[in-house]
Chain A
Amino acid sequence: MDDLLLISFLIYIAGIVAILVLPKNMSAKIAGISGSVGSVALLSFALHSLFSKTIYTASLWMIPNIGYLSIRVDYLSAFFLIATAIVTLPASIFASTRVSYIKESNNSFLLVLFLSLIIFVILVLISSNIFLFLLVWEVMSILIYLLVNSGKSERAGYIMLAVGETGTLAIAIAFLLLATNAKTLSFEGLEASISSLSVGMQWSVFILSFLGFGIKGGLIPFNFWISRAYSVTPTAFIPFIAGATLNLGLYGIIRVNANFLPMSEVGFGVILLIVGSITALIGILYATIEDNFKTILAHSSIENAGIIITAFGASMIFLTSGHKVAASMALVASLYHLLNHSVFKTLLFMGAGVIEDESKTKSLDKLGGLLKRMPWTGFFVLIGVLSISAMPPFNGFVSEWLTLESLLRSVELASLGVKVSFIIAGVLLALTAGLTVTCFTRAFSMSFLGMARSKSIEKTKEVTKTTLAPMALLAIVAFLLGVLPTFVIPTIDRAVYPITSASATTALVPPFFNNQKVADKLPSGFVNDFHNIGAQVGKNTLYGRGVVVMHRGGKDNPVVFAMSTSYMLITFLILFGLTVGLVWLLVARKRTVVYKTRWDGGIKNLLPQMTYTASGFAQPVRVIFSTILRSNISNQKETASKHFRLSIKQERQEVHLIDRLVLYPLMNFAKKLSHLLAKMHSGKINTYASYAILTLLVFLGISFYM
């Protein structure tokens, strides 16, 4: 089975070669087939290595002075490979069908870049050598940049590249600090010498790596590139870039903190917790007021990265305070949400891209009424929207619920300060969850429901089945992840166990529904309490591994929280069926139904502008959070002969909080610096010569005294 990794690489490379060799009109199909088949191989390899007892390692080749470039697929890597493969499979089919919409560049070249990006994303996840990691990370960043720009020259791409390179620099310094301590470049060596890190070193490595990986992962304060880059990326590639490459930053943060730093400083976790929750709130706040579906999704990616990091921070705090099971639970929640986010974000970006391409409209204010024209796209986007808004029975609900529940476990912690940070994070996440519903209700209803608000929509037609198939696949995955958490959690738990050295499965998925033997081992008080609430523990009435996801508080307090999305679904279906049946039996059968036009207040023509617009929907949020958003509203009046008003024009401008506080000050600082440097550039050759001589003298002087 271990050969499957090699096979998947070979399939991708074969795809690249085939695109380069074979005629251009076949390149899209080749990319789709090689991308999806390779992902199937990758998925089976990743699942196999997650469940196998041995860790797959391989040394590629020896480089003098650096050592072996080695790769290693441990359980954490395997989990991330699963998430990547689940995204890559539909995303490559999608890319192959939509790539022809890019007019600015050579499509087959872009597909080559796309397949290479898949390879390098996998390499980032499995490389276990600092040199190899930084190398593939750098190549990966450049490939993303090329795909984001896709032949155009976009400012957003440059910003992304500039910020990304800064991040890479920070990561490189962090890794070099670790390497100087461990005196080796291999990850195994770093893990072995973890105990010899001084506290100062730990903090600098933490800060630098958090900053560097946080840029890729979309955490504050350097996430301003995400919304810019995602909104200009072509539809063909955005699902993969958003679904798979954002994870790499989070992978880096989890990898460094879990494996290369001793889990002894509680401050790391608190920083992650607070930064994560604030990121989540700011992300969703701007997602709620944005006007472009892709930008909304970009901001929402930031929000979800925030949730994932919050849960990871909670896990770290639990681990440093010795609550291993709680740490495992929080980490399971974090990784579960990461997987879910990859799935529904890829799905939604496919939908948003398709809407933008087909309707040729970017603004939500000009969309509307698409559901009649694109029913299947609408259906799949609806599933994505329900998942991301954390609605049962879809996947977002399970992971957000687990995240909030694991934050509630802070009652077990001793330190008051840490507890307060948990409370703050919990409150921010709860607010985020509420705003997410508002945001995606708006995004869906304004694009799919109501009246068409522009003429180009009337020509919009449903997309082809090959474009719908990836969306359908992701929608099914989102649904399955939502109703089968009791099978997903033990799988993720395997990736979590090496980090926290405790299993969360028994705490999250109680085993006593399995058979009588397990039930007999449980404390009798626990079983009695279940009898009191009407559940027959271990009586084989509920068969199968855990239809119930549950927190067990301990022997004294049996059930703290219980939730079952599988049963919830069944109950919903039964109740829905009963309601429909009853209504049909009692009422509907005997009535005749008359269809008349809707009551519109009696106006002559209902114009689309009169209906609820996207800006109107977001207005309450704008007003409530006006202190954060700080919109600049300017009024312009046009008058004739000073008194007669002809028109009033109101313009609103919003500068993103992060832009206001981070990006623009940085830009101003850089400008000032360059002005200062420009003074040196007087253009006289004599002055330059004197600078050179001065520098030489100074360095000579230093070298004499050293």
Chain B
Amino acid sequence: MSYWVKKGLKTGVVSTRYPKQEETASGITPGLPQITDNINSDDLISVCPTRAIHKTDEKLLLESSLCIHCYRCSRDTKEPLSWSEGFEWASFEKNSTPFSSTFGHSLHICVVDSGDCGACLNETKLLNSPLYNMHRLGFFITPSPRKADVLLVVGAVTQQMKGALLKAYEAMPTPKKVMAVGTCALSGGVFEGGFIAENGVSSILPVDITVPGCPPPPLAILHGLLSLAGRKNIKRGTK
């Protein structure tokens, strides 16, 4: 006989209280580099492999949807960038809205791995773990797009997966939303402009919400889902 009931009671609730309370545990997020106004070094531009740090109108900017968390900007430069904690990075694309309140309570999610390295998929998988436990919020993974409300895409849509992704989108009933998770899905990441993959999901599908990060932590994805369900108010239409 195992003592799982006893053990379970002893352990107590380990799930994060995230949407109700702030989650401040250490290591919960890898963070993103932060550019403050006083930093203005061309060194940073040359060090960034994915051109996430670029200069517009003589001003350094950070495009988070390109950042691959390589930390070169904080290690290999004279003026190392500081890193922000926090994980509420999800943002709506232009003209995109959350689900109406009728569909906002519970969402069924179909995850499509369109050729990722495994990191984003792993983080998505963690949503099912006791620590994040997305079921308490009414989010469920479904294998069939026929039953899904949200198409969660990870990976830089490879040529092999392009057809499958389009088929899955076609198979979904309306109302449907597409959620791009991870830098590769947002822009192609390190594969951008390559022959192997598309430049992100948005080049073939209308994306509704994006979650940057390489990989984004589970809470960032959870934040994206909550925003999609209309249960978290975020900035919109930045692009």
7 closest cross-chain pairs (CB), A and B: A602-B164, A599-B171, A602-B167, A599-B146, A596-B170, A602-B168, A604-B163
Min CB gap A3→B, angstroms: 68
Our count of residue pairs bridging A and B at CB distance below 8 angstroms stands at 24
Which A residue sits closest to B143, measured CB to CB? A601
Neighbouring B residues of A596 by C-beta, 8 Å: 170-171
Contacts A597-B171, A599-B167 supplied; 5 other A-B pairs, CB < 8 Å: A596-B171, A599-B168, A602-B163, A602-B164, A602-B165
Which residues of B from 160 to 174 have beta carbons under 8 Å from A? Answer: 161, 163-165, 167-168, 170-171
Neighbouring B residues of A599 by C-beta, 8 Å: 144-146, 167-168, 171
Which B residue sits closest to A598, measured CB to CB? B171
Which A residue sits closest to B145, measured CB to CB? A599
Which A residue sits closest to B161, measured CB to CB? A602
Neighbouring A residues of B145 by C-beta, 8 Å: 599
A677 sits at the interface (CB 8 A): no
Which residues of A from 577 to 613 have beta carbons under 8 Å from B? Answer: 596-604
Which A residue sits closest to B164, measured CB to CB? A602
Binding site for A on B (CB under 8 A): 112, 144-146, 161, 163-165, 167-168, 170-171
Q: How far is the CA of A599 from the CA of B146 in the complex (A)?
A: 7
Which residues of A from 105 to 142 have beta carbons under 8 Å from B? Answer: none
Min CB gap B110→A, angstroms: 10
Neighbouring A residues of B146 by C-beta, 8 Å: 599
Question: Can you list 18 A-B contacts (CB < 8 A)?
Answer: A596-B170, A597-B170, A597-B171, A598-B171, A599-B144, A599-B145, A599-B167, A599-B168, A599-B171, A601-B164, A602-B112, A602-B163, A602-B165, A602-B167, A602-B168, A603-B164, A604-B163, A604-B164
Neighbouring B residues of A603 by C-beta, 8 Å: 164
Q: How far is the CA of A603 from the CA of B168 in the complex (A)?
A: 10
Min CB gap A463→B, angstroms: 37
Q: How far is the CA of A604 from the CA of B165 in the complex (A)?
A: 11
Neighbouring B residues of A602 by C-beta, 8 Å: 112, 161, 163-165, 167-168
Neighbouring B residues of A597 by C-beta, 8 Å: 167, 170-171
Neighbouring A residues of B144 by C-beta, 8 Å: 599
Neighbouring B residues of A600 by C-beta, 8 Å: 167
Neighbouring A residues of B163 by C-beta, 8 Å: 602, 604
Min CB gap B100→A, angstroms: 18
Neighbouring A residues of B170 by C-beta, 8 Å: 596-597
Q: How far is the CA of A597 from the CA of B163 in the complex (A)?
A: 13
Q: How far is the CA of A603 from the CA of B165 in the complex (A)?
A: 10
Min CB gap A51→B, angstroms: 59
Min CB gap A622→B, angstroms: 28
Min CB gap B205→A, angstroms: 14
Min CB gap B209→A, angstroms: 22
Kindly name the residue among B112, B146, B167 whose own CB sees the greatest number of chain A CB atoms within 10 A. Answer: B167
Neighbouring B residues of A604 by C-beta, 8 Å: 163-164
Min CB gap A70→B, angstroms: 72
Neighbouring B residues of A598 by C-beta, 8 Å: 171
Q: How far is the CA of A604 from the CA of B166 in the complex (A)?
A: 11
Which A residue sits closest to B165, measured CB to CB? A602
Neighbouring B residues of A601 by C-beta, 8 Å: 164
Min CB gap B204→A, angstroms: 14
Min CB gap A606→B, angstroms: 11
Neighbouring A residues of B112 by C-beta, 8 Å: 602
Min CB gap B158→A, angstroms: 13
Which B residue sits closest to A596, measured CB to CB? B170
Q: How far is the CA of A600 from the CA of B143 in the complex (A)?
A: 12
Kindly name the residue among A597, A600, A602, A604 whose own CB sees the greatest number of chain B CB atoms within 10 A. Answer: A602
Contact mask for chain A residues 421-440; partner B; CB cutoff 8 A; 1 contact, 0 none:
00000000000000000000
Neighbouring A residues of B161 by C-beta, 8 Å: 602
Q: How far is the CA of A600 from the CA of B163 in the complex (A)?
A: 12
Q: How far is the CA of A599 from the CA of B164 in the complex (A)?
A: 10
Q: How far is the CA of A487 from the CA of B161 in the complex (A)?
A: 63
Q: How far is the CA of A599 from the CA of B110 in the complex (A)?
A: 13
Q: How far is the CA of A596 from the CA of B146 in the complex (A)?
A: 11
Q: How far is the CA of A596 from the CA of B176 in the complex (A)?
A: 15
Q: How far is the CA of A602 from the CA of B163 in the complex (A)?
A: 7
Min CB gap B218→A, angstroms: 25
Min CB gap A496→B, angstroms: 55
Which A residue sits closest to B144, measured CB to CB? A599
Which B residue sits closest to A603, measured CB to CB? B164
Q: How far is the CA of A598 from the CA of B171 in the complex (A)?
A: 7
Q: How far is the CA of A603 from the CA of B161 in the complex (A)?
A: 9
Min CB gap B145→A, angstroms: 6
Min CB gap B198→A, angstroms: 16
Q: How far is the CA of A473 from the CA of B163 in the complex (A)?
A: 49
Q: How far is the CA of A603 from the CA of B164 in the complex (A)?
A: 6
Q: How far is the CA of A600 from the CA of B161 in the complex (A)?
A: 14
Min CB gap A678→B, angstroms: 68
Q: How far is the CA of A604 from the CA of B171 in the complex (A)?
A: 14
Q: How far is the CA of A599 from the CA of B112 in the complex (A)?
A: 14
Min CB gap A508→B, angstroms: 49
Which residues of A from 301 to 332 have beta carbons under 8 Å from B? Answer: none
Min CB gap B104→A, angstroms: 22
Which B residue sits closest to A602, measured CB to CB? B164
Q: How far is the CA of A596 from the CA of B173 in the complex (A)?
A: 10
Q: How far is the CA of A597 from the CA of B171 in the complex (A)?
A: 7
Min CB gap A605→B, angstroms: 10
Min CB gap A604→B, angstroms: 6
Min CB gap A591→B, angstroms: 11
Q: How far is the CA of A601 from the CA of B165 in the complex (A)?
A: 10
Which A residue sits closest to B174, measured CB to CB? A594
Min CB gap A598→B, angstroms: 8
Which B residue sits closest to A600, measured CB to CB? B167
Neighbouring A residues of B165 by C-beta, 8 Å: 602
Kindly name the residue among A598, A599, A600, A603 whose own CB sees the greatest number of chain B CB atoms within 10 A. Answer: A599
Min CB gap A601→B, angstroms: 8
Which A residue sits closest to B173, measured CB to CB? A594
Min CB gap B114→A, angstroms: 10
Q: How far is the CA of A18 from the CA of B168 in the complex (A)?
A: 66
Neighbouring A residues of B168 by C-beta, 8 Å: 599, 602
Q: How far is the CA of A599 from the CA of B167 in the complex (A)?
A: 7
Min CB gap A215→B, angstroms: 54
Min CB gap A90→B, angstroms: 44
Kindly name the residue among B163, B168, B171 whose own CB sees the greatest number of chain A CB atoms within 10 A. Answer: B171
Q: How far is the CA of A601 from the CA of B143 in the complex (A)?
A: 9
Q: How far is the CA of A603 from the CA of B166 in the complex (A)?
A: 11
